[in-house]
């Protein structure tokens, strides 16, 4: 079974880990404070989970989820992620992260920054537009009429298929938005950010999500 590495184990990372374990994956969790601080979460997740350093989680993961504040993206280990698919959950919050001139000027996206930092990895944007409680509660079996979709973006078709398969396994359809340069369509303050998962009826079906993505303006 594929192992999921997590660099960052906060609300989104912890929720992805729970969904992954429930789907039968092994998970290796890390954070900036050290493996010992993840003992409670690992205990809750059970024998398919263990805590490690960020470098160890990167090395162990077949797919690695990077879910750290944008201001810390340069601290993501590079060497152990070579050749791997990396899911980037990040959003740009200037009050938290400080100002990034290239993002303010809309010259690039947060995921393109991470891709530049990880030139030998393949970055796919995902999980950034959904509130963690929605992520925990809206997972549905494949084929369910009320299944929600999550947008993804990436420059490598094979990597996006890998991520789509993982999303399917944990309860979500994947909606391919295009390359990393298009990931702004579901970033913070766009119609596809968070709100669709509270309506209608608590789901974001493919058609409804497509409408919200099409409304995005820069």
Domains and CATH numbers, the chain: 3-214 (3.40.50.720)
d(CA 114, CA 128): 14
Kindly state the DSSP code that residue 129 receives in the 8-state scheme: T
Residue 26 CB neighbour total at 10 angstroms:
18
- 162 vs 160: CA distance, rounded Å: 5
Q: What parts of the chain have a pLDDT lower than 50?
A: none
pLDDT of residue 200: 61
Q: What is the pLDDT of residue 1?
A: 67
Q: Are the CB atoms for 74 and 117 separated by under 8 Å?
A: yes
pLDDT of residue 75: 96
Report how far apart, in Å, the C-alpha atoms of 200 and of each of 25, 50, 145, 149, 161 are: 31, 37, 13, 13, 27
pLDDT tens digits, 78-103:
999 999 999 999 999 999 999 999 99
pLDDT score recorded for residue 92: 97
- The confidence score (pLDDT) of residue 206 equals 82
Residue 201: what pLDDT? 59
Helices 157-170 and 11-22: angle between axes, nearest 10 degrees: 70
Report how far apart, in Å, the C-alpha atoms of 55 and of each of 46, 142, 199 are: 22, 33, 39
What is the pLDDT, as a whole number, of residue 199? 67
> Taking a C-beta distance cutoff of 8 angstroms, is the pair 138, 167 a contact?
no
**Which long-range contacts link 17-24 to residues 24+ away (Cβ below 8 Å)?**
17/41, 17/45, 17/49, 18/45, 18/136, 19/135, 19/136, 19/139, 19/170, 19/171, 20/166, 20/170, 21/45, 21/46, 21/48, 21/49, 22/170, 23/169, 23/170, 23/171, 24/48, 24/169
Bridge partner list, 173: 149
DSSP string, 187-217: STTSTTSSGGGGSSTT---HHHHHHHHHT--
> Do 135 and 167 form a contact (C-beta atoms < 8 A)?
no
* 3 upstream amide cis, omega within 30 of 0: no
């Amino acid at each position: 079974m594929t192992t999921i590495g997590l660099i960052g184990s906060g609300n989104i990372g912890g929720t992805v880990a729970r969904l992954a374990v429930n789907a039968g994956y092994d998970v290796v969790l890390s954070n900036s404070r050290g493996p010992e601080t993840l003992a409670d979460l690992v205990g809750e997740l059970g024998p398919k989970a263990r805590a490690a350093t960020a470098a160890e989680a990167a090395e162990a993961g077949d797919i690695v989820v990077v879910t750290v504040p944008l201001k810390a993206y340069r601290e993501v280990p590079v060497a152990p992620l070579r050749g791997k698919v990396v899911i980037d959950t990040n959003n740009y919050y200037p009050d938290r992260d400080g100002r990034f001139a290239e993002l303010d000027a809309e010259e690039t996206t947060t995921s393109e920054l991470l891709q530049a930092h990880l030139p030998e990895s393949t970055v796919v944007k995902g999980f950034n537009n959904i509130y963690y409680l929605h992520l925990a509660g809206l997972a549905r079996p494949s084929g369910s009429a009320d299944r929600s979709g999550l947008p993804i973006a990436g420059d490598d078709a094979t990597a996006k298929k890998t991520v789509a398969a993982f999303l399917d396994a944990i309860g979500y359809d994947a909606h391919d938005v295009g390359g990393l340069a298009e990931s702004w369509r579901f970033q913070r303050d766009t119609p596809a950010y968070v709100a669709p998962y509270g309506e209608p009826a608590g789901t974001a079906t493919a058609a409804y999500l497509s409408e919200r993505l099409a409304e995005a303006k820069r």
